[in-house]
Structure 1
């Protein structure tokens, strides 16, 4: 395993930490949640045998610092960050992009606004709940999470959020019945994950889960888009928008190993599924 080349990129309102591995056509990986670049290491090292793999910490996460720590977050701004990295690493050449969760929402917006810069996008469980028929229910969930965070603090807010996302949470323990033991390298990142949760719950989740993609425009770009969901998260809230969009666009929903965080729990198998998705 070769150590990545590490860089810093100034963008509007933030400085992005990014890492580059391998050689070949550019593949940009956009993480979701609070894991940042570290959450993608398992698949990035494997994919670097075939691609120049770029990963980064989204603004406000881990080593990507905000000029204003209290700044509101917007999907368009995060998508523009991804574009700036493409311009830096693959100027003028269409690239492949993978996004997971909130990162998949940024990838969708990038496809909608700058399709000429993208050859193919794989979006894994983008929680664009506004496209669902019961969107009002999920809007209310986000409001409950925000109110709980404001009045009772982080962990109660996380419990409300987890209950709203999962189809099989154990009401006695608050744990998902589909949880699996994380690999050691993933478990070691727990401190980083916890450190980023207030920012994620307070800024990212409300902004990203209120985002509505332009479905008519997305239909015209569906030949460049692969929608994916976890085999173990069928029926859960983050899975449902991917399934809805695939049906709406008339494309096949790809099923990847694991659940919503399959890239962390099943990195080898997930990387192979991603490789196949980009090969078409």
Structure 2
């Protein structure tokens, strides 16, 4: 177990394998375990770093938090981790809201990033019907406050993700503390966050937008397509849906490994 002291938190992190530094950033539920099988596959050719994002599980908060700038803080945390490990610049893969964090990292700390793979960022501002989805996420939050975690999560996953995703999500072990933190500080805040497209365009040659093949038509896949178009980049598709790294881990890891190999010269 390793921890890194950052402003206002202690980050739990792990490193595995050897080779170019590759950092994996999770969305919900904010913990390293979601990438366990991917780490096992990549560790033979990469130094893979995974961590719990602040406020989730083993990454404990330490003092007051500025929730008005939480996305920036999340990005700063990754930058601190890369600098701490001393192997950067890093290949960075982020999924869902972790992809939003990764994009913010590149915009704020470009020297820490070698290649960025944002996988299905929930970037609602890129979508023509983004206001509809923002309203829906607010309704899910209200449902959480009125009826609790499970009814809200059921509504959220069944409207937002492909069937292969929400079947797995329904069976996954619950961590109510993580879920409550996500509902309060991420569900309504990260999807409508404004991406710094000007800063990202300046580093577009480092960005490989990605999405799941089974996610087509769902909002995060659509956002990935829009991001690729705004940056004049090709979209790279991987097996499975929004959480293909869990539901279809062996094939997802193998194809992600081949993609990463192409980024290492």
Where does residue 73 of structure 2 map in the other structure? 77
Contact 1:149 1:202 in 2 (8 A): no
Structure 2 unaligned spans of 5+: none
User: Which residue of 256, 268, 273 maps to 2:250?
Assistant: 268
Q: Does 1:87 align with 2:83?
A: yes
Where does residue 213 of structure 1 map in the other structure? 195
1:159-193 CA-partner distances (Å, limit 9, x unpaired): 33224414xxxxxxxxx6435875xxxx6x6144x
Where does residue 234 of structure 2 map in the other structure? 252
User: Which residue of 234, 237, 246 maps to 2:219?
Assistant: 237
- The SS at the match of 2:215 is coil
Find runs of 4+ consecutive structure 1 residues off by over 6 angstroms: none
Contact 2:20 2:46 in 1 (8 A): yes
Where does residue 178 of structure 1 map in the other structure? 164
Tell me, in whole angstroms, the C-alpha distance in 2 between the residues paired with 1:179 and 1:65. Answer: 28
CA drift of 1:151 comes to 2.5
Tell me, in whole angstroms, the C-alpha distance in 1 between the residues paired with 2:134 and 2:163. Answer: 25
User: Which residue of 24, 33, 37 maps to 1:29?
Assistant: 24
Alignment of 1:65-144 (within 5 A): 65-67=60-62, 72=67, 74-90=70-86, 93-144=88-139
Aligned residues: 260
CA drift of 1:68 comes to 5.2
Structure 1 unaligned spans of 5+: 1-5, 167-175
Alignment of 1:8-27 (within 5 A): 8-27=3-22
- The SS at the match of 1:232 is helix
CA drift of 1:254 comes to 0.5
1:88-107 CA-partner distances (Å, limit 9, x unpaired): 1026x311111111111100
Superposition TM-score, scaled by structure 1 size: 0.86
Q: Does 1:190 align with 2:176?
A: no
Give the alignment's Cα RMSD to 1 decimal. Answer: 2.2
Where does residue 159 of structure 1 map in the other structure? 154
Contact 2:15 2:49 in 1 (8 A): yes
- The SS at the match of 1:42 is helix
Contact 2:209 2:228 in 1 (8 A): yes
Superposition TM-score, scaled by structure 2 size: 0.90
Tell me, in whole angstroms, the C-alpha distance in 1 between the residues paired with 2:151 and 2:174. Answer: 18
1:111-154 CA-partner distances (Å, limit 9, x unpaired): 11111211101111010111212221122112212222222322
- The SS at the match of 1:15 is strand
